[in-house]
Amino acid sequence: MPLLGCIADDFTGATDLASQLVSIGMRTVQTIGIPDEGLAADLEDIDAVVVALKSRTLPAETAVEQSLAALEWLKARGCEQFYFKYCSTFDSTSEGNIGPVTDALMDALDVSFTVACPALPANRRTVYNGYLFAGGVPLNESGMQDHPLTPMTDANLVRVMDSQTRHRVGLVEFDCVRRGSEAVRSRFDTLRADGVGVAVLDAIEQQDLETLGEACRDLTLVTAGSGLALGLGARWRDQLTGGDAARLPAIPGREVILSGSCSRATLAQIEHTKAHYPHYRLDALTLAENYQDQVAEALALAREHLDRSPVLIHASASPDNVKRAQQLLGVQAAGEIVERALGEIAGALVNELGVRRLLVAGGESSGAVVSALEVKGLQIGPSIDPGVPWTVTLGTGERLALALKSGNFGSEDFMTKAWETMP
């Protein structure tokens, strides 16, 4: 029976949390949405489960509905503690969804107090006096103020949370955090007595998250980025299934890299990889004109080289190039046609060409590939770089090794070194 049940509001964020849990010795499974009975056997001998939703930018009502369904499923599995995972930049729309989902989970679990802790010092997301900093600057100056879907224009999380939740919002200040977990717990008591339902937590360094994790050990519900997981781990130490939590079965087979990410880090990784492996570039405009021919060409290149080397198939392009495609096709349609092609190519590579090991770059792109391959769940294994573990698919059907990389993660040689860390 899993001890810890997590609900993540997006796909690669779920993988990030799952890989943090594995790093503290918890055998962890990530499910794609709420799984059906097909996964039952894979959920028996694990310490934590992360349900990956795609609820971050849904209407708040739908996000609440999905999160509550995930909670019910986790409760039925026997989880003892629950973790609502969101982004370390507190990505939310003006309507939520962090506040409304937190409220609904508190009601469903019958708790009157929880915490909000997005801090992730390893990625330079820190909280001081309730203000969230990303890369050393306030959130609203970090570029997040221009995010197309979840623009963050206020770095003050007490204010942001206050506008989203019906609970009173309080703060556990940095000075208190530095006095240790006992001091934090007693601050929780004071806040509770003052009628506070959600406490924003200051944290600047890793050691602060450890203090906070220890202080949160008895809370039924926590809400956080992936960072708090490290601190919570101590609670479970004596109850874990044991052994190497990152162990995965060996998956032999052909190797491919698929990328639909146009993030800066991915573009550098693609340049590096092109010098090492055969590669093919999908073009959004060409796909729009002649979809079948371009997909066939990509598969022909793969067929020619796959028995000797990994092959790279990517749509990744410079911002100018992407903009041109978006102007001519529309933003949505340009993204969709690339995602459709990546999904179809992934299906053919696996079903017809014997590919069993896939590295996918891009959050949305990963979603498209996982859905085309009808993946229901992932066993989380060793990390290639922080936040990007190797995983092995669960459920019925042939097992695949998948590494799903969100755009800005990974070092420049990520796509060539990844194969060395494979089980």
The answer to whether residues 116 and 199 touch, using CB atoms and an 8 Å cutoff, is yes
Q: Which is nearer to ligand ADP, 231 or 407 (CB)?
A: 407
Of 407, 410, 415, 422, the one binding ligand ADP by CB under 6 A: 407
Q: What is the DSSP letter of 166?
A: S
Q: Which is nearer to ligand ADP, 20 or 263 (CB)?
A: 263
- Could you write out the DSSP letters of every residue in 303-318? HHHTTTS-EEEE----
Q: Which of residues 360-389 bind ligand ADP (CB under 6 A)?
A: 362-365
Of 142, 261, 294, 383, the one binding ligand ADP by CB under 6 A: 261
Q: Which is nearer to ligand ADP, 337 or 392 (CB)?
A: 337
Q: Does 334 bind ligand ADP (CB under 6 A)?
A: yes
Of 102, 142, 223, 406, the one binding ligand ADP by CB under 6 A: 406
Residues 6+ apart with CB under 8 A from 108: 68, 71, 72
Q: Which of residues 60-119 bind ligand ADP (CB under 6 A)?
A: none
Q: Does 262 bind ligand ADP (CB under 6 A)?
A: yes
Helix axes 181-193, 206-215, angle to 10 degrees: 60
| Residue 291 Cβ vs ligand ADP, minimum distance, rounded to whole Å | 14
The answer to whether residues 18 and 51 touch, using CB atoms and an 8 Å cutoff, is no
Residues in binding contact with ligand ADP, number by CB under 6 A: 23
| Residue 150 Cβ vs ligand ADP, minimum distance, rounded to whole Å | 13
Rg of the chain over all Cα atoms, to the nearest angstrom: 21
Q: Does 211 bind ligand ADP (CB under 6 A)?
A: no
Q: Is 394 helix (H, G, I), strand (E, B) or coil?
A: coil
- Closest to 259 in 3D by CA, of 187, 365, 146: 365
Residue 221, CA distances (Å) to 68, 95, 276, 361 in order = 13, 22, 47, 32
| Residue 90 Cβ vs ligand ADP, minimum distance, rounded to whole Å | 18
Q: What's the angle, vertex CA 285, arms to CA 282 and CA 291, rounded to 5?
A: 65
Of 284, 359, 369, 422, the one binding ligand ADP by CB under 6 A: 284
Q: Where are the alpha helices (DSSP H) in 154-239?
A: 157-164, 174-178, 181-193, 206-215, 228-236
Q: Does 260 bind ligand ADP (CB under 6 A)?
A: yes
Q: Does 294 bind ligand ADP (CB under 6 A)?
A: no
| Residue 322 Cβ vs ligand ADP, minimum distance, rounded to whole Å | 4
Residue 75, CA distances (Å) to 3, 6, 49, 265, 322 in order = 10, 11, 11, 38, 44
| Residue 335 Cβ vs ligand ADP, minimum distance, rounded to whole Å | 3
Contact footprint for ligand ADP (CB under 6 A): 260-263, 266, 284, 315-317, 321-322, 325-326, 334-335, 338-339, 362-365, 406-407
